[in-house]
Amino acid sequence: MDFHRTAEVNGKMPLAAKLTKCIQSKNDDLRKKENDCKRPADLSGLSYIAEAYGTILSELGENTEREGLLRTPLRAAKAMQFFTKGYQETIGDILNDAIFNEDHEEVVIVKDIDLFSLCEHHLVPFFGKAHIAYIPNKKVIGLSKLARIVEIFSRRFQVQERLTKQVAEAIEEALAPVGVAVVIEAAHMCMMMRGVQKLNAKTMTSVMLGAFQKDSRTRDEFLTLVLRK
């Protein structure tokens, strides 16, 4: 130790000491990279959202230090990130290798697709079912992908009218089908819990493209099949 100390003072660091410092520096770099990998990209966003929820609870008169609320801001922040995960997903991500060439020219219908979304006006849920139909133009899509398309757009702040249109347009863009039809029926908590407080009210929206818009018989067939109880 005395030799090392003397050598460093004289400006001559022994080889062993140099190797030790080099190894320590590399280890520090590895630890930093490992910590960066463990740290989610949205960690800072999560903490900001949690802090905002804490502020909301305090402003509502709650004691954020009591046991039941200690972790509520963090839990609420994580839940909100899940509710809005559609912002992090694209149609291209889910349709990769899910479109197939197929000589099928009749209507394909997937009905009763459960959906949950958040009304962008009051940030409270609306929920219900989506019914989708398309007429292939030599291309079909994996059936589960239709539900995934609904999931992507519903997991964002939404109004039902826009949600319906986005689902229809995404299918039209992906498949270039002969026609696309989307109907959504949903209950809105902003009508049930506040305002007019009408518990049984449902909202229905539809978008018809291509043959479903131009051909009344095709449109009527779809509506009869999906709305029949």
Known catalytic residues are 119-122, 160, 188, 190
CA atoms of 164 and 186, how far apart (whole Å): 11
CA angle 206, 116, 99 (to 5 degrees): 65
Tell me, what amino acid is at 208?
Answer: M
- Conformation bin of residue 198: beta by default, left when phi > 0, alpha when psi is -120 to 50: beta
CA atoms of 81 and 118, how far apart (whole Å): 12
Q: Among the residues of the chain, which ranges form H helices?
A: 2-9, 15-38, 43-59, 72-83, 91-95, 143-154, 160-175, 189-192, 211-214, 216-227
Q: What does DSSP assign to residue 137? A: S
Q: How many CA atoms lie within 13 A of 209 on its CB side?
A: 24
SS3 176: coil
